[in-house]
Amino acid sequence: RMQSSRSKPCSCPSLKLREVASMYFTLVAAFLVILVVALQGSAPRQSDFPYKVPLDPQGLLELSWNVSYPEQAVHFQLLIRELHFGLLFGMSDRGEFENADLAVLWSDGHNSYFGDAWSDAKGQLHMDSQQDYQLLGARRAPEGLYLLFRRAFSTCDPKDYLIEDGTVHLIYGILEKPVHSLQAINVSALHGGLQRVQLLKPNISIPQLPRDMKSMEITAPDVVIPSQETTYWCYMAELPEGFSKHHIIMYEPVVTAGNEALVHHMEVFQCAADFDSFPRYNGPCDSKMKPERLNYCRHVLAAWAMGAQAFYYPEEAGLAFGGPGSSRYLRLEIHYHNPLVLKGRRDSSGIRLYYTATLRPYDAGIMELGLVYTPVMAIPPGEDSFILTGYCTDKCTQLALPSAGIRIFASQLHTHLAGRKVVTVLSRHGRERQVVNADSHYSPHFQEIRMLKEVVAVFPGDELITTCTYNTEDRSRATVGGFGILEEMCVNYVHYYPQTQLELCKSAVDPGYLHRYFNLVNRFNDEEVCMCSQVSVPQQFYSIPWNTFNRDVLRSLYGFAPISVHCNKSSAVRFPGQWEKQPLPSITERLREPSPRCPPSPGAQPAAPIALHLGQLRRV
């Protein structure tokens, strides 16, 4: 179905005010009890908490938050629509309940308490000696209980999670029975789950939007969401006949009311201009009924994931679509996450594109950085953190970028199921200068185009180095690079302007050096393994006995062997030049790891819960 048609950061308080606040909190903490009146009242203003996400599939827990960069803190508002006997909310490395950093609300049936806690490797809860989830208030409203609390990005408490850029795995658990103490909570018996978000949203001012701006909705045509946990739904749409060149200048999600917890992420792809027409289709993306030609609809126009807001292009650039050399056909892909296996739920979600006929000074472009999709890059099985790196070399940027350079303003990181961390760094003259985008808690189940906090300028001769970390502990054979979901990728799709002919700037290890590795492995192996040329690279990797020696030599090979560089034009043709057996870029100076900023402590706060007056809680 197609239809045409930030608040300012608060300033830091003065030192004296901080001292007064510190004394106040210390005095309050000394009493061990804060009485938070939970009277009937109105909900806090939505503008105070601009970001919102449902935590559970039923939408009974709704999290809203705001980010204060001057205070280096996140303020949370948790709406609990049905309060049983409390809940756990927190963060962990990958969404586990073990080794988690938690804010806990619990009740013994008469009295309610709030406290900052942590769980150990066995899932046992402990009150934190440093109470860093600061309760700001609790308020009953007709729709439920609002819990307001604050947490600094970094607390310098070894038991606390460091909130940083990128993906954060939020966890929740509902207490369905009264508990007499925090230690009595059995984490493994909780009804709970996880939600992934980007907590630290960039503080970007919204650009001026033109008066002639129009909008177009690319939405699912009232589909019935299949009653299974995971569905990728594909729908073909098309632009009007004779649609001239326009610039997309922003887009936002359109989510059917009531389905906020089911619509996980959505993307709009433009089809290849090589075909005059594409068949209509409305159905699961993995169906045998899906026409083969839809696989040629891969050019991303818009991507949204749960918790993201509207995406804005910089004032001086827009994403071109329409006109000569541009396909009229678009493919909408929606990922439905339906863990409760709800039946008969109808959906018309999608993405609303805002566009203008008044073209901006620059066309925006999308460039692929990282590793070439090839089996020569592989990860041994049983690895907890194996690193692969792809290079966009100085030789390629020197040849392909304009003398004034390009400006990267957004980025979408991408791996398959084994990916755990992704980072792209800009290097100039052998010195790392700037992180383009990094995600230390990356999840392949949460991929969105993220606006960067600051635009990154890339000049001819610069290098863009993309490093991915993988975990293959659950695999018994090697994982090779490729398109399959059990194969791997390491990609950063960077959004930049002005658009150039350079569409892909990636690398892979030189195949000749990999062949030498296979020969070496064969000589050290007792059993004869056929490493002959007629055996495919994946088969050779699958036949390797993965002892420490073979693992370490492969790791070393990727760290020193020459590379094959793909410096490709939009037509998938390489720029002229010698691109085989290129030396690895030499890095003489690394970026320093930023040291966490510890907030001023309001004084020693005893590890004691805060008593809340919520009235007597009972089973819902």
110 and 223 share one domain: no
91 and 237 share one domain: no
Contact yes or no for 67/74 (Cβ under 8 A) = yes
- The overall average pLDDT reported for the chain is 88
pLDDT band at 6 (very low <50, low <70, confident <90, very high): very low
Q: Read off the CATH number of the domain in which 143 is found.
A: 2.60.40.1210
**Average pLDDT value for residue range 109-130:** 93
pLDDT for 575 beyond 70: yes
Residue 41 lies in a domain: no
Q: Read off the CATH number of the domain in which 560 is found.
A: 2.60.120.230
Residue 487 lies in a domain: yes
For 516-548, the pLDDT digits (tens) are: 999 999 888 766 556 566 789 999 999 999 999
251 and 322 share one domain: yes
For 384-428, the pLDDT digits (tens) are: 999 999 999 999 999 999 999 999 999 999 999 999 999 999 999
Task: Give the Cα separation of 132 and 568 in Å (integer).
Answer: 50
350 and 378 share one domain: no
Q: What is the pLDDT of residue 282?
A: 97
State the catalytic residue, choosing from 414, 445, 515, 613: 414
398 and 514 share one domain: yes
**Average pLDDT value for residue range 571-588:** 92
- Six token digits for residue 584: 């690895």
Residue 39 lies in a domain: no
Contact yes or no for 417/485 (Cβ under 8 A) = yes
Residue 31 lies in a domain: no
Q: What is the pLDDT of residue 618?
A: 46
Contact yes or no for 266/347 (Cβ under 8 A) = no
263 and 278 share one domain: yes
Q: pTM for the complete prediction?
A: 0.85
pLDDT for 253 beyond 90: yes
- Six token digits for residue 593: 């790891």
533 and 585 share one domain: yes
Task: Give the Cα separation of 518 and 544 in Å (integer).
Answer: 9
59 and 187 share one domain: yes
Number of domains in the chain: 3
pLDDT cut 90: percent of the chain above it: 73
232 catalytic per annotation: yes
253 and 106 share one domain: no
187 and 239 share one domain: no
Strand, helix or coil for residue 295: helix
Q: What is the pLDDT of residue 18?
A: 40
Residue 32 lies in a domain: no
237 and 351 share one domain: yes
**Average pLDDT value for residue range 193-209:** 91
- Greater confidence, 610 or 348? 348
Instruction: Indicate the residue among 343, 360, 377 that finishes a domain.
Output: 360
State the catalytic residue, choosing from 51, 232, 296, 513: 232
As beta bridge partners, residue 582 has 563
Contact yes or no for 387/491 (Cβ under 8 A) = no
- Greater confidence, 34 or 3? 3
**Domain membership of residue 572 as a residue range:** 365-592
Q: What is the pLDDT of residue 306?
A: 81
Task: Give the Cα separation of 479 and 611 in Å (integer).
Answer: 52
For 143-176, the pLDDT digits (tens) are: 999 999 999 999 999 999 999 999 999 999 999 9
Q: What is the pLDDT of residue 22?
A: 42
Residue 278 lies in a domain: yes
396 and 493 share one domain: yes
pLDDT for 15 beyond 70: no
